[in-house]
Amino acid sequence: MIAWAIARQTVNEALRRRIMWVFLISGVALIFLMPLFGYLTAPKDSQTVLRALGLAAILLAGLFITIVTCIYLIPVEIERRTIYTVLSKPVQRYEFVLGKFLGGFITVAINILFMGVLFIFMLYLQSLKVGLDRGFFACITSGTFAPEMIRGIFMTFFQMLLLAALTIFFSTFTTPIVNFFLSFGIFMVGNLSSVTDSLTTNSNWLVRGTGTVIHYLLPNFGNFNIQNALIHPVAEISNPNEYMRNNIVYALIYSAVLLILAIIVFDRREV
């Protein structure tokens, strides 16, 4: 309950941060601008590009919102010395870390949800088959939803969960600027999981060893990229539900590892 109270307070604070709004507005603007790319010669291509860019806009905005929200959560409390007031009360350090993580992640989730709904609505608008000259009702009911896109948004959600845990972990012992580059860098390397996976079978033992360590030690953010199958619906994937389920479990387990590490480090930190 203490962690939940801290989380609620964190959400309130995070939603007041202007920098987060800058990224949210950028993401929303990108989603709104999607139809500008809809002028390609083949209509099928336009749909492909719209879907790719929409999912990318959510992921890009979500990435920056997660990092800029979470890197400040703990350091700001230390810098402003408000942490003394909190920790002088019957609040355990682990509760503080968990509360901060939950608050940060809920903020990110609200943003992703907002952008996701907007994205699906924009795809719906794009799919309208008749014009307003046929009447407003006929026009607005002539479109089709793209429910499969929810899968992509859902995976972005868990990708950001993992990133939030990573950023919170780093924030227990680094400055925000170092944390920004560390989290961003690991996100990039983690996105190359297909490459690191192929390195694990390399014939050179040094490359193979390094690839194996990177592949299993660092969080594999690339696992969550299922956009391709969503953008090209004829690309055949067997058991997509099982794949998603495994990834959700992976995100939860790896986030738990990072949060435990964060708690261990923060327990030992002198504040």
Partner 1 sequence: MASNTVRYPQDMTRRLPILASACVALFAASIFMQRLIDPGRQAYHAQENLRTTQAAMGGLNNEFMLLPLLGFREAAAGLLWVRCDEFFHSGDYDAILPLVRLITWLDPHADNVYITGAWHLDYNFTDSSERSDRRYIAPAVGLLKEGIANNNNIPDIKFELGWQDFDKIKDFPGAVEAFKMAIAGPYGDENIFDPAKNHTIPKDQDNEGYWPYAGPLKDIHMLAHAYEKEGRLPDAIATWDHALERSTKLLRDKPKDFGNKSMHDAELHNRAEILQRYYDRYTDLNHDHNNPSKLPAVHAAAANGGGKPGPFDIALRPLIEVPRRYVLKVSGRVNLADGGRIDVRISDWDYKDRVSDKDLRALQPPDLGQTILIDSISIRKDKFAREMDMSKDPKMYSFSNKLGPDKTGLYKIVLSFNTRTTAPHIQDYAGWSGEGLTDAQPGRVFYVSDEAQLATKMIEGEGGKGPVWDGKAVPFPFYGQPPRVIRVTYKINQQQVLGNKPITDADIVPNDPDTTIMLK
Residues in touch with partner 1 (CB under 8 A): 37, 40-42, 44-45, 48-49, 52-53, 55-56, 59-60, 63, 92-94, 187-188, 191-195, 197-199, 215-216, 220-229, 231-240, 242-243, 246-247, 249-250, 253-254, 256-257, 260-261, 263-264, 267-268
- Shorter beta-carbon distance to partner 1: residue 12 or 45: 45
**What count of Cα atoms within 13 Å lies in the side-chain half-sphere of residue 72?**
16
Q: What contacts 222, CB < 8 A, 6 or more positions away?
A: 190, 191, 192, 193, 194
State how far the Cα of 206 lies from the Cα of 50, in Å rounded to an integer: 42
Q: How far is the CB of 7 from partner 1 (least distance, A)?
A: 21
Nearer to partner 1, 110 or 244 (CB): 244
Three-state secondary structure string covering 17-32: CHHHHHHHHHHHHHHH
> Measured from the CB of residue 41, what is the shortest distance to partner 1 in angstroms?
6
Question: Which phi-psi region, left, alpha or beta, contains residue 135 (left: φ > 0; alpha: ψ -120 to 50)?
Answer: left
CB neighbours of residue 180 within 10 Å: 18
Min dist. Cβ of residue 243 to partner 1 (A): 4
Shortest Cβ distance from residue 87 to partner 1 (Å)?
11
Identity of the residue, 94 or 154, whose beta carbon is nearer to partner 1 in the bound complex = 94
CB of 109 to partner 1, least distance (A): 19
The two tokens of residue 155 are 């995976």
**12/194 with CB nearer partner 1:** 194
Give dist(CA 63, CA 76) in Å, integer: 20
